[in-house]
Amino acid sequence: MQKRLRILATFLVLLAFASGNAFSAKAKQKVFRLGSASGQVRAFDSTVGIAQELGFLEEELSKVGYKIEYSYFENGIAINEAFIAGDIDAATIGDVPAFTGYANQIGTVWIGSLSSFSDIAILTRKGSSIKKPKDLEGKNVAINIGTNAQFTFENYLTFHGVDRNKINIINLTLINHPSAFASGSIDAAFGSAPFLLNAAAEGVADEFYTTRQNPEWSCQGLILASKKFLKTDEKALVAFEKAVIRAREELIKNPSRWYLTYSGGAIAKHPELGERLYNRDNGRFRDLILRIGEQEIEKGQNLYNLLLKLGRYKTARDVKGFVNNNIYEQAEKELKAKGFVITE
């Protein structure tokens, strides 16, 4: 009888130990912290936004033992601050702040091309005397310095021979541009095309220019990861990119269904802008392939060199040192092994 009691007691102890371990494992579930720089709409955009809406991110990350935590930031500058503080593991971000982080070696790595062409627009105040680029001289021009619109801004002024010193630059976050137009405090603004063209459609200001005329001046959307997280949690990043790859295929199947999500909600009042803004190649969406190609690297190097010349960056760097395609290649390999077809 005593032997049976000892066996029972041992069994109960082992059961309690196992239950405790299971509880502990659940309590210590790993978290993947993803940030968005699209603060003006408080949403993720492009294929990451589609993957979020479809539940692909949660699905793929749960397979490798992670849950996802979303964070939204005012702009890419705030994203860099979050990386430095260790508050996020990966993020979607515009190219100027992304390369600024690289220039300052804040510990990030470029793991995916969210968009090869993210268009920038210029709006002018209703009834403005601005009819040609040189007319910007002597005017109040809004741009959020350090964000993705700056690459377009600098190239546009240089190409058209506009004297930067004769422009009154108003460093203003994108979300405040419409109210600044309404109050008459600005004459023109450079910023994200989806957001500004939506404002133009609302009659807040007039459309003056978009980078559809000069794709080489458009910005890029990047996916960055913390080097520290990459070193210890690579499988989470692979799972994340698998979800984003899947989302692109859903966009290709039914583009009009996803334009609003693609915009991060920016074109909610004017969804008809979606086709004009996002369909560059008759529905193939090659600009959304996550692999970082030579075109994306060259464009990034041109941006880096320009901002170095302007004194924004202090040290010359080879952009190739910022690139890591291993995550994409592994994600692609795992999806194809299961028969998933990726449109090239």
pLDDT digits (tens, 9 = 90+) for 124-151: 999 999 999 999 999 999 999 988 899 9
Least-confidence region, from 18-32, 53-67, 242-256: 18-32
pLDDT above 90 covers what percent of the chain?
84
Q: Which stretches of the chain are assigned E, i.e. beta strand?
A: 30-36, 66-72, 90-94, 108-118, 120-124, 140-143, 168-171, 188-192, 206-210, 219-226
Q: Which two tokens stand for residue 162?
A: 């506009």
Confidence (pLDDT) at 164 = 94
Q: Which two tokens stand for residue 178?
A: 């419409």
Nearest to 287 by CA among 83, 39, 119, 91: 119
Confidence (pLDDT) at 40 = 59
* Residue 18 confidence (pLDDT) above 70: no
Confidence (pLDDT) at 10 = 45
Cα–Cα distance measured from residue 38 to residue 24, given in angstroms and rounded to the nearest whole number: 36
Confidence (pLDDT) at 41 = 63
* Residue 5 confidence (pLDDT) above 60: no
Segment 292-328, tens digit of pLDDT: 999 999 999 999 999 999 899 999 999 999 999 999 9
Confidence (pLDDT) at 1 = 46
Report if pTM > 0.95: no
Confidence (pLDDT) at 114 = 97
* Residue 20 confidence (pLDDT) above 90: no
Segment 54-113, tens digit of pLDDT: 999 999 999 999 999 999 998 899 999 999 999 999 999 999 999 999 999 999 999 999
Alpha carbon of residue 82 to chain centroid: 14
Q: Which two tokens stand for residue 273?
A: 């802008």
How sure is the predictor about 228, in pLDDT bands with cuts at 50, 70 and 90?
Answer: very high
Mean pLDDT, the chain, integer:
91
Cα–Cα distance measured from residue 82 to residue 217, given in angstroms and rounded to the nearest whole number: 28
Contacts of residue 174, defined as CB under 8 A and 6 or more positions apart, other chains included, come to 40, 75, 144, 147, 149, 191, 192, 195, 196
Q: Which two tokens stand for residue 304?
A: 């880096």
Confidence (pLDDT) at 15 = 44
* Residue 7 confidence (pLDDT) above 50: no
Residues 203-223: what's their mean pLDDT? Answer: 95
